[in-house]
Protein backbone atom coordinates (compact mmCIF):
# COMPACT_ATOMS: atom_id res chain seq x y z
CA UNK A 1 0.00 0.00 0.00
CA UNK A 2 1.42 3.37 -0.95
CA UNK A 3 1.79 6.25 1.49
CA UNK A 4 -0.91 8.08 -0.50
CA UNK A 5 -3.42 5.28 0.07
CA UNK A 6 -2.49 5.19 3.74
CA UNK A 7 -3.09 8.93 4.03
CA UNK A 8 -6.43 8.68 2.24
CA UNK A 9 -7.36 5.91 4.66
CA UNK A 10 -7.00 8.33 7.59
CA UNK A 11 -10.06 10.29 6.40
CA UNK A 12 -13.44 9.63 8.03
CA UNK A 13 -15.04 6.47 6.64
CA UNK A 14 -17.94 7.25 4.30
CA UNK A 15 -20.58 4.72 5.33
CA UNK A 16 -24.04 4.15 3.91
CA UNK A 17 -26.32 2.37 6.33
CA UNK A 18 -28.96 -0.01 4.99
CA UNK A 19 -31.27 -0.63 7.93
CA UNK A 20 -33.11 -3.90 8.23
CA UNK A 21 -35.38 -5.27 10.93
CA UNK A 22 -34.25 -4.43 14.48
CA UNK A 23 -31.76 -1.75 13.49
CA UNK A 24 -31.17 -0.09 16.84
CA UNK A 25 -31.32 3.69 17.12
CA UNK A 26 -28.63 3.69 19.81
CA UNK A 27 -26.05 1.94 17.61
CA UNK A 28 -26.66 4.31 14.72
CA UNK A 29 -26.58 7.37 16.98
CA UNK A 30 -23.23 6.24 18.38
CA UNK A 31 -21.98 5.76 14.84
CA UNK A 32 -23.18 9.20 13.75
CA UNK A 33 -21.33 10.79 16.68
CA UNK A 34 -18.09 8.95 15.96
CA UNK A 35 -15.53 11.35 14.48
CA UNK A 36 -14.01 8.58 12.34
CA UNK A 37 -17.29 7.76 10.63
CA UNK A 38 -19.25 9.86 8.20
CA UNK A 39 -22.77 8.64 7.48
CA UNK A 40 -23.46 9.62 3.88
CA UNK A 41 -26.77 10.15 2.13
CA UNK A 42 -26.40 7.75 -0.80
CA UNK A 43 -24.27 4.72 -1.68
CA UNK A 44 -22.63 6.84 -4.38
CA UNK A 45 -20.72 8.68 -1.66
CA UNK A 46 -19.93 5.57 0.33
CA UNK A 47 -16.95 3.25 0.48
CA UNK A 48 -18.51 0.92 3.03
CA UNK A 49 -22.06 -0.41 2.97
CA UNK A 50 -23.19 -1.23 6.47
CA UNK A 51 -26.16 -3.59 6.58
CA UNK A 52 -27.76 -3.50 10.02
CA UNK A 53 -30.27 -6.12 11.09
CA UNK A 54 -32.13 -8.77 9.15
CA UNK A 55 -33.16 -7.96 5.59
CA UNK A 56 -36.24 -9.92 4.46
CA UNK A 57 -35.83 -11.92 1.26
CA UNK A 58 -38.22 -9.70 -0.71
CA UNK A 59 -35.83 -6.75 -0.27
CA UNK A 60 -32.67 -8.62 -1.31
CA UNK A 61 -32.85 -7.21 -4.83
CA UNK A 62 -33.06 -3.68 -3.47
CA UNK A 63 -30.01 -4.38 -1.35
CA UNK A 64 -28.15 -5.71 -4.39
CA UNK A 65 -28.98 -2.48 -6.21
CA UNK A 66 -27.59 -0.40 -3.35
CA UNK A 67 -24.48 -2.53 -3.19
CA UNK A 68 -23.77 -2.13 -6.89
CA UNK A 69 -24.24 1.64 -6.77
CA UNK A 70 -21.17 2.14 -4.60
CA UNK A 71 -18.11 3.30 -6.54
CA UNK A 72 -15.26 0.79 -6.42
CA UNK A 73 -13.28 -0.05 -4.36
CA UNK A 74 -15.96 -0.66 -1.79
CA UNK A 75 -16.77 -3.20 0.84
CA UNK A 76 -19.72 -4.37 2.90
CA UNK A 77 -20.09 -5.06 6.60
CA UNK A 78 -22.97 -7.17 7.86
CA UNK A 79 -23.85 -6.14 11.38
CA UNK A 80 -26.23 -8.58 13.09
CA UNK A 81 -27.34 -9.53 9.62
CA UNK A 82 -27.12 -12.56 7.37
CA UNK A 83 -25.00 -11.86 4.26
CA UNK A 84 -26.40 -12.40 0.78
CA UNK A 85 -25.39 -15.75 -0.72
CA UNK A 86 -23.21 -14.06 -3.41
CA UNK A 87 -20.55 -13.11 -0.88
CA UNK A 88 -17.78 -15.68 -0.51
CA UNK A 89 -16.03 -14.24 2.51
CA UNK A 90 -18.38 -11.66 4.02
CA UNK A 91 -17.35 -9.41 6.88
CA UNK A 92 -19.83 -10.00 9.66
CA UNK A 93 -20.05 -8.53 13.12
CA UNK A 94 -22.34 -8.82 16.11
CA UNK A 95 -20.55 -6.92 18.86
CA UNK A 96 -21.72 -3.33 19.29
CA UNK A 97 -18.47 -1.94 20.67
CA UNK A 98 -16.46 -3.23 17.71
CA UNK A 99 -18.65 -1.52 15.10
CA UNK A 100 -16.74 1.73 14.54
CA UNK A 101 -13.24 0.16 14.77
CA UNK A 102 -14.22 -2.58 12.31
CA UNK A 103 -15.54 -0.03 9.83
CA UNK A 104 -12.33 1.98 10.13
CA UNK A 105 -10.19 -1.14 9.65
CA UNK A 106 -12.16 -2.18 6.59
CA UNK A 107 -11.69 1.27 5.08
CA UNK A 108 -7.95 1.46 5.83
CA UNK A 109 -7.31 -1.87 4.12
CA UNK A 110 -9.72 -1.29 1.23
CA UNK A 111 -7.00 -1.34 -1.43
CA UNK A 112 -5.39 -4.55 -0.26
CA UNK A 113 -8.52 -6.64 -0.71
CA UNK A 114 -9.88 -8.44 -3.72
CA UNK A 115 -12.49 -6.16 -5.26
CA UNK A 116 -16.10 -6.91 -4.47
CA UNK A 117 -18.14 -8.38 -7.29
CA UNK A 118 -20.94 -6.53 -9.04
CA UNK A 119 -23.99 -8.51 -7.97
CA UNK A 120 -26.40 -7.59 -10.74
CA UNK A 121 -25.70 -8.39 -14.40
CA UNK A 122 -23.72 -5.68 -16.18
CA UNK A 123 -26.13 -5.04 -19.02
CA UNK A 124 -28.60 -2.23 -19.70
CA UNK A 125 -31.54 -2.65 -17.33
CA UNK A 126 -33.84 -1.45 -20.09
CA UNK A 127 -32.21 -1.95 -23.50
CA UNK A 128 -32.91 0.21 -26.54
CA UNK A 129 -36.12 -0.71 -28.30
CA UNK A 130 -36.85 2.62 -29.98
CA UNK A 131 -37.84 3.24 -33.57
CA UNK A 132 -37.65 6.98 -34.19
CA UNK A 133 -34.61 9.21 -34.64
CA UNK A 134 -34.49 9.96 -30.95
CA UNK A 135 -35.62 6.56 -29.85
CA UNK A 136 -38.94 7.97 -28.91
CA UNK A 137 -40.67 4.75 -29.86
CA UNK A 138 -41.85 5.84 -33.25
CA UNK A 139 -45.14 7.21 -32.00
CA UNK A 140 -44.45 10.91 -32.17
CA UNK A 141 -43.13 12.69 -29.12
CA UNK A 142 -45.31 10.81 -26.67
CA UNK A 143 -45.63 7.22 -25.62
CA UNK A 144 -43.49 4.33 -26.73
CA UNK A 145 -40.81 2.48 -24.83
CA UNK A 146 -37.51 3.88 -26.13
CA UNK A 147 -35.21 2.24 -23.62
CA UNK A 148 -37.40 -0.59 -22.48
CA UNK A 149 -39.12 1.81 -20.11
CA UNK A 150 -42.26 3.65 -21.12
CA UNK A 151 -42.09 7.38 -21.73
CA UNK A 152 -43.58 9.55 -19.00
CA UNK A 153 -47.19 10.36 -19.86
CA UNK A 154 -49.29 13.33 -18.92
CA UNK A 155 -51.20 13.01 -15.71
CA UNK A 156 -53.60 15.05 -13.60
CA UNK A 157 -52.20 18.02 -11.77
CA UNK A 158 -53.37 19.06 -8.32
CA UNK A 159 -52.39 22.73 -8.48
CA UNK A 160 -53.89 24.35 -11.57
CA UNK A 161 -54.94 21.47 -13.79
CA UNK A 162 -52.07 21.98 -16.22
CA UNK A 163 -51.46 18.38 -17.24
CA UNK A 164 -47.83 17.50 -17.78
CA UNK A 165 -45.61 14.46 -17.49
CA UNK A 166 -45.75 12.69 -14.16
CA UNK A 167 -42.67 11.00 -12.78
CA UNK A 168 -43.42 7.67 -11.12
CA UNK A 169 -40.99 5.65 -9.03
CA UNK A 170 -40.74 3.40 -6.01
CA UNK A 171 -38.58 4.73 -3.22
CA UNK A 172 -37.25 2.54 -0.44
CA UNK A 173 -36.94 0.27 1.49
CA UNK A 174 -33.43 1.51 2.35
CA UNK A 175 -34.01 5.22 1.80
CA UNK A 176 -32.13 6.99 4.58
CA UNK A 177 -34.59 9.78 5.45
CA UNK A 178 -37.48 7.33 5.86
CA UNK A 179 -38.20 4.70 8.45
CA UNK A 180 -36.38 1.46 7.59
CA UNK A 181 -38.46 -0.84 5.42
CA UNK A 182 -40.87 1.83 4.21
CA UNK A 183 -41.39 1.32 0.48
CA UNK A 184 -43.70 3.73 -1.31
CA UNK A 185 -44.68 4.25 -4.90
CA UNK A 186 -44.86 7.96 -5.64
CA UNK A 187 -45.94 10.03 -8.56
CA UNK A 188 -44.57 13.56 -8.92
CA UNK A 189 -45.59 16.52 -11.08
CA UNK A 190 -42.54 18.73 -10.95
CA UNK A 191 -41.81 18.76 -7.24
CA UNK A 192 -45.40 18.25 -6.14
CA UNK A 193 -46.45 14.84 -4.89
CA UNK A 194 -49.52 13.65 -6.78
CA UNK A 195 -50.08 10.12 -5.60
CA UNK A 196 -48.60 7.93 -2.91
CA UNK A 197 -49.17 4.28 -2.23
CA UNK A 198 -47.45 2.33 0.49
CA UNK A 199 -46.06 -0.86 -1.04
CA UNK A 200 -44.56 -2.12 2.16
CA UNK A 201 -44.96 -0.61 5.64
CA UNK A 202 -41.92 0.18 7.77
CA UNK A 203 -40.38 -2.67 9.74
CA UNK A 204 -41.95 -2.97 13.20
CA UNK A 205 -39.79 -1.16 15.72
CA UNK A 206 -39.23 -2.45 19.20
CA UNK A 207 -39.71 0.32 21.78
CA UNK A 208 -36.74 0.72 24.16
CA UNK A 209 -36.47 -2.37 26.36
CA UNK A 210 -37.53 -0.54 29.51
CA UNK A 211 -41.06 -0.15 28.06
CA UNK A 212 -41.32 -3.91 27.57
CA UNK A 213 -40.12 -4.34 31.15
CA UNK A 214 -42.85 -1.94 32.31
CA UNK A 215 -45.46 -4.42 31.07
CA UNK A 216 -43.84 -7.23 33.06
CA UNK A 217 -43.50 -5.42 36.36
CA UNK A 218 -42.82 -2.15 38.10
CA UNK A 219 -39.88 -0.17 36.69
CA UNK A 220 -38.39 3.11 37.89
CA UNK A 221 -40.26 6.03 36.30
CA UNK A 222 -36.94 7.85 35.96
CA UNK A 223 -35.67 5.15 33.56
CA UNK A 224 -38.90 5.17 31.59
CA UNK A 225 -38.92 8.93 31.17
CA UNK A 226 -35.24 9.12 30.24
CA UNK A 227 -35.83 6.51 27.53
CA UNK A 228 -38.78 8.56 26.27
CA UNK A 229 -36.75 11.79 26.19
CA UNK A 230 -33.95 10.01 24.36
CA UNK A 231 -36.36 8.59 21.81
CA UNK A 232 -37.89 12.02 21.16
CA UNK A 233 -34.40 13.51 20.82
CA UNK A 234 -33.65 10.89 18.15
CA UNK A 235 -36.83 11.98 16.38
CA UNK A 236 -35.81 15.64 16.50
CA UNK A 237 -32.30 14.80 15.31
CA UNK A 238 -33.79 12.93 12.38
CA UNK A 239 -36.00 15.89 11.45
CA UNK A 240 -33.00 18.24 11.66
CA UNK A 241 -30.98 15.92 9.46
CA UNK A 242 -33.82 15.80 6.92
CA UNK A 243 -33.97 19.61 6.94
CA UNK A 244 -30.27 19.66 6.06
CA UNK A 245 -29.09 20.80 9.49
CA UNK A 246 -26.62 18.00 10.11
CA UNK A 247 -24.41 19.68 12.71
CA UNK A 248 -27.46 20.49 14.83
CA UNK A 249 -28.70 16.93 14.38
CA UNK A 250 -25.38 15.70 15.74
CA UNK A 251 -25.64 18.15 18.64
CA UNK A 252 -29.07 16.73 19.43
CA UNK A 253 -27.72 13.18 19.32
CA UNK A 254 -24.90 14.25 21.64
CA UNK A 255 -27.57 15.56 24.04
CA UNK A 256 -29.32 12.19 23.83
CA UNK A 257 -26.09 10.34 24.59
CA UNK A 258 -25.50 12.17 27.88
CA UNK A 259 -29.04 12.58 29.11
CA UNK A 260 -29.54 12.71 32.89
CA UNK A 261 -32.65 13.41 34.94
CA UNK A 262 -33.31 17.09 35.46
CA UNK A 263 -31.01 18.38 32.69
CA UNK A 264 -32.13 21.78 31.44
CA UNK A 265 -32.53 21.85 27.67
CA UNK A 266 -33.48 25.52 27.54
CA UNK A 267 -30.42 26.27 25.43
CA UNK A 268 -31.43 23.61 22.95
CA UNK A 269 -34.94 25.04 22.75
CA UNK A 270 -33.34 28.39 21.92
CA UNK A 271 -31.20 27.22 19.05
CA UNK A 272 -33.92 24.97 17.73
CA UNK A 273 -36.18 28.00 17.43
CA UNK A 274 -33.48 30.05 15.70
CA UNK A 275 -32.02 27.36 13.42
CA UNK A 276 -34.80 27.53 10.85
CA UNK A 277 -36.25 24.06 11.33
CA UNK A 278 -39.66 25.50 12.12
CA UNK A 279 -39.43 27.96 9.25
CA UNK A 280 -38.53 25.18 6.81
CA UNK A 281 -42.19 24.21 6.45
CA UNK A 282 -45.20 26.49 6.09
CA UNK A 283 -47.75 26.54 8.89
CA UNK A 284 -50.36 23.83 8.44
CA UNK A 285 -47.92 21.54 6.64
CA UNK A 286 -48.71 17.90 7.38
CA UNK A 287 -51.78 18.74 9.41
CA UNK A 288 -53.57 15.65 10.70
CA UNK A 289 -57.32 15.29 10.93
CA UNK A 290 -58.75 14.05 14.20
CA UNK A 291 -59.17 10.47 12.93
CA UNK A 292 -55.67 10.38 11.47
CA UNK A 293 -54.22 11.71 14.72
CA UNK A 294 -56.02 9.08 16.78
CA UNK A 295 -54.96 6.38 14.34
CA UNK A 296 -51.28 7.27 14.69
CA UNK A 297 -51.53 7.95 18.41
CA UNK A 298 -48.72 9.00 20.74
CA UNK A 299 -47.09 12.39 20.29
CA UNK A 300 -48.72 12.93 16.89
CA UNK A 301 -52.16 12.67 18.52
CA UNK A 302 -51.19 14.96 21.40
CA UNK A 303 -49.76 17.48 18.93
CA UNK A 304 -53.18 17.50 17.25
CA UNK A 305 -55.00 18.32 20.47
CA UNK A 306 -55.98 14.79 21.56
CA UNK A 307 -55.06 14.31 25.22
CA UNK A 308 -54.36 10.59 24.74
CA UNK A 309 -51.72 9.35 27.14
CA UNK A 310 -51.55 6.02 28.97
CA UNK A 311 -49.55 7.69 31.74
CA UNK A 312 -52.83 9.23 32.93
CA UNK A 313 -53.94 5.73 33.91
CA UNK A 314 -50.99 5.21 36.23
CA UNK A 315 -51.53 6.36 39.83
CA UNK A 316 -47.77 6.77 40.30
CA UNK A 317 -47.68 9.37 37.52
CA UNK A 318 -50.66 11.15 39.01
CA UNK A 319 -48.83 11.36 42.33
CA UNK A 320 -45.88 12.95 40.53
CA UNK A 321 -48.24 15.64 39.23
CA UNK A 322 -48.19 14.52 35.60
CA UNK A 323 -50.42 16.38 33.18
CA UNK A 324 -50.66 15.89 29.43
CA UNK A 325 -49.08 18.46 27.14
CA UNK A 326 -51.10 19.11 23.97
CA UNK A 327 -50.75 21.39 20.95
CA UNK A 328 -53.71 22.32 18.81
CA UNK A 329 -52.27 22.84 15.32
CA UNK A 330 -51.50 19.19 14.53
CA UNK A 331 -48.96 20.08 11.83
CA UNK A 332 -45.23 19.42 11.54
CA UNK A 333 -44.30 22.43 13.65
CA UNK A 334 -46.71 21.35 16.38
CA UNK A 335 -45.21 17.87 16.42
CA UNK A 336 -41.69 19.24 16.77
CA UNK A 337 -42.89 21.57 19.53
CA UNK A 338 -44.63 18.61 21.15
CA UNK A 339 -41.42 16.54 21.12
CA UNK A 340 -39.54 19.42 22.66
CA UNK A 341 -42.19 19.97 25.32
CA UNK A 342 -42.35 16.29 26.19
CA UNK A 343 -38.55 16.04 26.43
CA UNK A 344 -38.55 18.85 28.98
CA UNK A 345 -41.47 17.30 30.82
CA UNK A 346 -39.88 13.85 30.85
CA UNK A 347 -36.60 15.19 32.21
CA UNK A 348 -38.44 17.06 34.96
CA UNK A 349 -40.53 13.96 35.78
CA UNK A 350 -37.41 11.78 35.78
CA UNK A 351 -35.74 14.19 38.18
CA UNK A 352 -38.69 14.11 40.59
CA UNK A 353 -39.13 10.33 40.25
CA UNK A 354 -35.43 9.66 40.83
CA UNK A 355 -35.47 11.85 43.95
CA UNK A 356 -38.44 10.02 45.44
CA UNK A 357 -37.52 6.65 43.88
CA UNK A 358 -40.96 6.19 42.30
CA UNK A 359 -41.87 3.02 40.40
CA UNK A 360 -44.68 2.53 37.90
CA UNK A 361 -47.97 1.34 39.33
CA UNK A 362 -49.64 0.01 36.19
CA UNK A 363 -48.50 -2.97 34.14
CA UNK A 364 -51.51 -3.39 31.86
CA UNK A 365 -50.62 -0.53 29.56
CA UNK A 366 -47.63 1.73 28.99
CA UNK A 367 -47.17 4.92 26.98
CA UNK A 368 -44.20 4.30 24.67
CA UNK A 369 -42.64 7.13 22.64
CA UNK A 370 -44.57 5.73 19.68
CA UNK A 371 -47.90 5.57 21.51
CA UNK A 372 -50.11 3.49 23.73
CA UNK A 373 -48.98 -0.11 24.17
CA UNK A 374 -51.44 -2.46 25.83
CA UNK A 375 -50.14 -5.80 27.04
CA UNK A 376 -50.48 -8.42 24.30
CA UNK A 377 -51.66 -5.90 21.71
CA UNK A 378 -48.60 -4.20 20.24
CA UNK A 379 -48.88 -0.93 18.31
CA UNK A 380 -50.59 -0.96 14.93
CA UNK A 381 -48.88 0.32 11.81
CA UNK A 382 -50.23 3.68 10.59
CA UNK A 383 -48.27 4.19 7.38
CA UNK A 384 -51.52 4.28 5.38
CA UNK A 385 -52.02 7.81 6.78
CA UNK A 386 -49.13 8.95 4.58
CA UNK A 387 -51.18 8.03 1.50
CA UNK A 388 -53.81 10.59 2.50
CA UNK A 389 -51.41 13.17 3.87
CA UNK A 390 -48.70 13.57 1.25
CA UNK A 391 -50.52 14.27 -2.05
CA UNK A 392 -50.39 17.97 -2.91
CA UNK A 393 -47.25 18.65 -0.90
CA UNK A 394 -43.98 19.83 -2.30
CA UNK A 395 -41.14 17.36 -1.97
CA UNK A 396 -39.40 19.15 0.90
CA UNK A 397 -42.66 19.42 2.83
CA UNK A 398 -43.38 15.74 2.26
CA UNK A 399 -39.93 14.81 3.56
CA UNK A 400 -40.37 17.02 6.64
CA UNK A 401 -43.81 15.51 7.28
CA UNK A 402 -42.52 11.95 7.05
CA UNK A 403 -39.66 12.83 9.39
CA UNK A 404 -42.03 14.38 11.91
CA UNK A 405 -44.30 11.32 12.06
CA UNK A 406 -43.52 7.96 13.55
CA UNK A 407 -45.90 5.54 11.85
CA UNK A 408 -44.06 2.22 12.23
CA UNK A 409 -45.74 -0.63 14.04
CA UNK A 410 -44.45 -1.37 17.52
CA UNK A 411 -43.60 -4.92 18.43
CA UNK A 412 -41.85 -6.39 21.42
CA UNK A 413 -38.15 -6.75 20.70
CA UNK A 414 -35.62 -8.72 22.73
CA UNK A 415 -36.95 -9.47 26.18
CA UNK A 416 -40.41 -9.42 24.69
CA UNK A 417 -43.69 -9.22 26.50
CA UNK A 418 -44.91 -11.25 29.42
Partner 1 sequence: MDLLALLIVAVIALLMAWLLQRPSLRRPPLAPYPQRAPFLGGGTVDSHAWSRFHVRYYPMTLLLIAFEMEMMFMYPWAVVYVEEGIKALAEMGMFLAILSVGIVYGWRERVFRWQ
Contacting residues toward partner 1, per CB under 8 A:
18, 42-44, 59, 61-66, 68-71, 118-125, 136, 145-147, 149-153, 162, 164-176, 178, 183, 189-190
Instruction: Tell me how far, at minimum, the Cβ of 388 lies from partner 1, in Å.
Output: 21
Is beta strand 37-39 parallel, antiparallel or unpaired with respect to 167-171? unpaired
Distance CA 107, CA 74 (A): 8
Least gap, CB of 283 to partner 1 (angstroms)? 15
Determine the Cα–Cα distance for residues 361 and 35; give it in Å rounded to an integer.
42
160 pairs with which residues across the strands? none
Smaller CB separation from partner 1, 102 or 189: 189
- For partner 1, the closer of residues 143 and 204 by Cβ is 143
Whole-number minimum distance, CB 164 to partner 1, in Å?
A: 5
Q: By C-beta, is 163 or 323 nearer to partner 1? A: 163
Q: Whole-number minimum distance, CB 352 to partner 1, in Å?
A: 43
CB 227 within 8 A of CB 211: yes
Distances (CA, A) of 20 to 161, 202, 205, 367: 40, 10, 10, 25
- Comparing CA positions, the residue from 199, 148, 180 lying closest to residue 63 is 180
- For strand 48-52 and strand 75-79, is the pairing parallel, antiparallel, or unpaired? parallel
3-state helix, strand, coil in the chain (%, to 5): 40, 15, 45
In terms of CB distance, is 12 or 190 closer to partner 1?
A: 190
* Contacts with 398 (C-beta within 8 Å, 6 or more apart), sequence order: 193, 390
Q: What DSSP character marks residue 330?
A: -
CB-CB contact of 344 with 265 (8 Å): yes
Comparison of 63 and 303: residue with beta carbon closer to partner 1: 63
Beta bridge partners of 13: 37
Q: Shortest approach of partner 1 to residue 186 CB, angstroms?
A: 9
Nearer to partner 1, 131 or 164 (CB): 164
Indicate the residue among 180 and 413 with the shorter CB distance to partner 1: 180
Q: Give me the least distance between CB of 169 and partner 1, in Å please.
A: 5
| Bridge partner list, 171 | 184
For the CB of residue 19, give the shortest distance to partner 1 in the complex, in Å: 10
Q: SS3 of 26, please? A: helix
Amino acid sequence: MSWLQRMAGEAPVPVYVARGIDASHDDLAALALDANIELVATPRHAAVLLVVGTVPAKFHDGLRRLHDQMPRPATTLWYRSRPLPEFDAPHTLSKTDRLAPTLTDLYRTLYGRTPQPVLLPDRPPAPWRGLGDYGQGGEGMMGGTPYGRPMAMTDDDLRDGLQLDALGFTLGPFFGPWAPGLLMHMSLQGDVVQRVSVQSPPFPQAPPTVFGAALRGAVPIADLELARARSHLFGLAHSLETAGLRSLALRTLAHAARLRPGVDIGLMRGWLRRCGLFASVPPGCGQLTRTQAIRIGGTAARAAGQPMDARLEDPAYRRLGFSVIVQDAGDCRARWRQWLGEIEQSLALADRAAGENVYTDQTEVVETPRGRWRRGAGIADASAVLEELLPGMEWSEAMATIASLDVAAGEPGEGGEP
